[in-house]
């Protein structure tokens, strides 16, 4: 490691544990920076002392002398960039060097204090320093950071300005204050911090993040965006955090791995999940990504939801704290999938809401894990192209729907199978969506407004039951009418008598739905998002906007469980194991 002696301005070299106390400079590069070769030539060093690139180094040395620190490190002159080997070693070591520095001086060349009328905090907030890729690690790594203006006047410390820095960077205040380690944040969160940052060379956007993820890798200038891909592959080798896959594929050039940190811009709320068991290994292979996770099935044979080991924690507009499991929509067949764009690239499935009644079962997902492969479109389409075309085109329904229900089965369907839908045109089984179409004849009136509803029912049959003991169960789904985004919805389990289908052939499906509506009104017209009867449970606690308004503008995720007794037994066992 090379350091500048603050008395003689000479560069000295140190190795191993023999490194003295030093300060380190963080700054943004301009067009005329000093170089290692220039600084080591004494006549050049003093001859250009007034040049901005040299002046800030002298000012750094002066500040270090005042602070009683004998050496400083400055990236422009302490690295011989003509040596690719030295540059690679320095970049892989840089996070550690900033961490071990006694203090980091941040020089903000675009923040001036010459005029008293200037809003210094606003200038500070808009400084170029907060937009550069390399300065993220220079903010996070050192324990002590001091900011200086263009005139080298003291602006404040990182701890004193932590709240403002957090607002500008998206990094939590406790992380800025070094009260929480960077490694405690999910991959997605750390990527989100870099989402809006830029570097002069494309590869440096990846190389500047090496220390933040605890990664070392060779530098290959000229590889372009492949550098960011390599970074993710190296992260996967050492981390079991699946939030690395929680990026927005609608903004990405690729779907397997992200092409740029910007696709994580809205992923700052995705936290590491609390795992009841060790996450099984996942690896990148020559065929794609090999993973083992729980899979949430749908009515469609061609798309599923993969449950990742991370959670989204968010406080909504009502300040209620919500925790959601992160699900990855996948298209494919025979446990070979590709990432989906429709109806959305990522689904946060609500499991914990401070507004939810405490006696609800929060997480309905199976603990059973399935091994599968997520491959590339170019590999999957030639094999299952025709079937997947049908499934994907199904999302582009002809009729416009403001809202619709997405049917999922977090523990599978067991011995149950789809028997009927009322009305039959409401169900799109190929995409597992249900759009209630029956408008009830009776309305619910309040003092100010008359509310009308749309409803429908999906009927399931236990295929191992026979004859008069054949078991049926209905899932009633209803929406407030006229449908609008963010409107009310309800779900109910409807226990059906044996052989209801055969015995009620004389009734129309509208009669059956009207009877359910009357019962709902009798019970107080509650817009329930959770219902449980016998061994069946339905929950509709998650709603999300779709990318292109297809097959509806807003989808409500419905979870149906047919083995509640087994689910309760599993959760009881988990609680005992934690005690």
Identify the CA nearest to 97 among candidates 137, 57, 55: 137
Decide if 577 is inside a domain. Answer: no
Identify the CA nearest to 190 among candidates 154, 249, 129, 235: 235
Of 245, 267, 289, the residue that ends a domain is 267
The reported pLDDT for the residue numbered 449 is 47
pLDDT tens for 37-74 read 999 988 888 888 789 899 999 999 999 999 999 999 99
Q: How far apart are the C-alpha atoms of 529 and 493, rounded to whole Å?
A: 11
Alpha carbon 450 to chain centroid distance? 40
Residues 275 and 255 in one domain: no
| Residue 118 and residue 106 in contact, taking contact as beta carbons nearer than 8 Å | no
What are phi and psi for residue 321, nearest 5 degrees? -85, 130
Decide if 120 is inside a domain. Answer: yes
Percent of the chain scoring above 70 in pLDDT:
86
Q: Given CA atoms 500, 502, 506, 510 in this order, what sign does their dihedral have?
A: positive
pTM of the model: 0.89
pLDDT tens for 441-450 read 554 444 444 5
The total of structural domains in the chain comes to 4
Ranking 73-77, 153-157, 289-293, 478-482 by mean pLDDT, the lowest is 478-482
Residues 418 and 462 in one domain: yes
Residues 174 and 253 in one domain: no
| Residue 105 and residue 24 in contact, taking contact as beta carbons nearer than 8 Å | yes
Residues 288 and 430 in one domain: no
Residues 442 and 538 in one domain: yes
Residues 93 and 192 in one domain: no
For residue 187, CA distances in Å to 234, 307, 312, 529, 538 come to: 12, 16, 13, 32, 33
Of 212, 236, 267, the residue that ends a domain is 267
Q: Which two tokens stand for residue 364?
A: 């309905």
Q: Which domain holds residue 516?
A: 403-567
Residue that wins the pLDDT comparison between 349 and 106 = 106
Decide if 578 is inside a domain. Answer: no
Banded model confidence at residue 549, pLDDT cuts 50, 70, 90:
confident
pLDDT tens for 360-382 read 888 899 999 999 999 887 777 67
Of 395, 421, 448, the residue that ends a domain is 395
Decide if 328 is inside a domain. Answer: yes
Decide if 574 is inside a domain. Answer: no
Residues 314 and 217 in one domain: no
Decide if 283 is inside a domain. Answer: yes
Residues 236 and 101 in one domain: no
Identify the CA nearest to 264 among candidates 366, 339, 369, 193: 193
Decide if 108 is inside a domain. Answer: yes
Residues 171 and 202 in one domain: no
| Residue 302 and residue 428 in contact, taking contact as beta carbons nearer than 8 Å | no
Decide if 501 is inside a domain. Answer: yes
Residues 172 and 45 in one domain: yes
Residues 51 and 173 in one domain: yes
Identify the CA nearest to 36 among candidates 73, 8, 63, 7: 73
Most confident of 278-282, 318-322, 545-549: 278-282
Residues 385 and 528 in one domain: no
């Amino acid at each position: 490691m090379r350091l500048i002696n603050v008395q003689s301005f000479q560069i000295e070299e140190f190795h191993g544990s023999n490194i003295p106390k030093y300060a380190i400079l963080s700054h943004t590069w301009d067009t005329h920076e000093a170089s290692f070769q220039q600084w080591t030539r004494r006549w050049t060093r003093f001859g250009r002392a007034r040049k901005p690139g040299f002046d800030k180094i002298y000012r750094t040395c002066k500040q270090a002398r005042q602070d009683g620190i004998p050496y400083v490190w400055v990236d422009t002159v302490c690295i011989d960039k003509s040596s690719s080997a030295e540059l690679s070693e320095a970049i892989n070591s840089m996070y550690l060097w900033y961490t071990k520095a006694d203090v980091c001086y941040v020089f903000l060349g675009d923040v001036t204090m010459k005029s008293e009328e200037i809003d210094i905090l606003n200038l500070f907030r808009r400084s170029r320093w907060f937009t550069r890729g390399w300065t993220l690690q220079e903010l996070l790594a050192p324990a002590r950071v001091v900011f200086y203006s263009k005139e080298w006047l003291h602006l404040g410390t990182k701890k004193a300005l932590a709240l403002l820095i957090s607002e500008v960077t998206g990094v939590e205040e406790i992380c800025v204050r070094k009260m929480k380690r960077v490694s405690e944040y999910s991959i997605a969160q750390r990527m989100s911090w870099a989402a809006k940052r830029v570097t002069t060379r494309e590869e440096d956007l990846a190389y500047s993040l090496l220390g933040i993820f605890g990664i070392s890798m060779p530098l290959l200038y000229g590889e372009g965006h492949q550098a960011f891909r390599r970074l993710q592959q190296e992260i996967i080798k050492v981390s079991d955090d699946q939030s690395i896959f929680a990026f927005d594929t609608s903004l990405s050039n690729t779907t397997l791995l992200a092409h740029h940190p910007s696709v994580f811009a809205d992923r700052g709320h995705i936290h590491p999940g609390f795992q009841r068991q060790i996450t099984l290994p996942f690896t990148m292979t020559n065929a794609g990504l090999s993973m083992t996770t729980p899979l949430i099935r749908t009515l469609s044979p061609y798309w599923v939801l993969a449950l990742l080991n991370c959670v989204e924690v968010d406080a909504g507009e009502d300040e209620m704290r919500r925790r959601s499991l992160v699900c990855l929509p996948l298209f494919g067949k025979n446990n070979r999938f590709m990432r989906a764009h429709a109806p959305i690239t990522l689904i946060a499935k609500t499991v914990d809401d401070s507004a939810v009644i405490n006696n609800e079962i929060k997480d309905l997902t199976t603990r059973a894990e399935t091994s599968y492969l997520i491959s590339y479109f170019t590999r999957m389409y030639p094999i299952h192209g025709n079937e997947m075309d049908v499934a994907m085109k199904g999302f582009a329904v002809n009729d416009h729907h403001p809202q619709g229900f997405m049917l999922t089965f977090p523990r599978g369907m067991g011995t149950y199978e789809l028997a009927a839908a009322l009305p039959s045109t409401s169900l799109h089984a190929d995409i597992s969506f249900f759009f209630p179409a029956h408008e009830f004849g009776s309305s619910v009136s309040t003092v100010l407004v008359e509310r009308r509803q749309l409803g429908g029912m999906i009927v399931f049959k236990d295929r191992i039951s026979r004859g008069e003991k054949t078991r049926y169960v209905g899932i009633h789904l209803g929406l407030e009418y006229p449908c609008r985004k963010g409107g009310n919805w309800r779900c109910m389990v409807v226990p059906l008598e044996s052989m209801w289908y055969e015995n009620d052939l004389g009734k129309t499906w509208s009669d059956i739905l009207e009877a359910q509506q009357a019962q709902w009104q009798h019970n107080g017209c509650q817009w329930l998002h959770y219902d449980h009867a016998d061994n069946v449970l339905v929950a509709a606690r998650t709603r999300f906007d779709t990318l292109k308004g297809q097959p509806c503008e807003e989808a409500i995720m419905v979870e149906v469980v047919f083995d509640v007794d087994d689910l309760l037994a599993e959760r009881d066992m988990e609680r005992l194991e934690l005690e």
